[in-house]
A = this chain, B = another copy of it.
Amino acid sequence: MTDTATQILDTAQELIQSRGYSAISFQDIAERVGIKKPSIIHHFPSKAALGEAVIKRYRLGFADQIEAIKADPGKTVWEALAFYFSPYLDYAQTPDKVCLCGALAGEIMALPEEMHEEVKRFMESHQRWLEDILREGKENGEFQFDETPPHMARVFFSALQGALLVKRATGDVSQVRDVTDTISKFIGT
């Protein structure tokens, strides 16, 4: 991966997280990277391919981190959960960013098929990860809740994604923190 390709991916990701995919163009990206439109094509053959590459990198970057936390015997389930919450809380501090896949979810029917598939993988893997952590915590007694881990995982993931979107739309920065605090209380004191 050349330096320019990385800059293109970084810029595209940033722009998609703030404006979505349909609203951005090669022109927007080229201006910020400091190159001309056709130079992007040299690195990514189409807008769809660039979009797919952005999500894939995002998804795999998360996957590495959250799998490492889950496998680390030195981390409690509470620490794993706090780690999972942290990017949501970080994005909530920015004026205009949400989760990349949360941003794309609203326009999913307008996305090329490869991008839709990547978003789907992202969401399924995150809900599975949350399910695993919740199950582990329930089994070892660190978490206390009555519902099943898959159901709780769906509520947690939906609430986190939704909270970021609501926060950005309303401008109320406490939305995400309120949600993480409240769902944490659903599983323990």
Residues of A within 8 A of B (CB): 18-20, 22-23, 96, 98, 101-110, 116, 119-120, 123-124, 127, 146-147, 150-152, 154-155, 157-163, 165-166, 168-171, 175, 178-179, 181-183, 185-186
Say yes or no: A182 contacts B151, CB within 8 Å. Answer: yes
Docked CA distance A168–B159 (Å) = 15
Interface of A is mostly: helix
Residues on B with C-beta less than 8 A from A124 are 170
Residues on B with C-beta less than 8 A from A101 are 169
Residues on B with C-beta less than 8 A from A171 are 120
Say yes or no: B110 contacts A106, CB within 8 Å. Answer: no
- Closest approach, in angstroms, between the C-beta of A165 and any C-beta of chain B? 4
Say yes or no: A161 contacts B151, CB within 8 Å. Answer: no
Q: Contact check: which of B109, B165, B170 meets A102 at CB < 8 Å?
A: B165
Q: Contact check: which of B19, B108, B175, B179 meets A109 at CB < 8 Å?
A: B19
Given A124-B170, A162-B157, A179-B154, A102 and B106 contact (CB-CB distance below 8 Å): yes
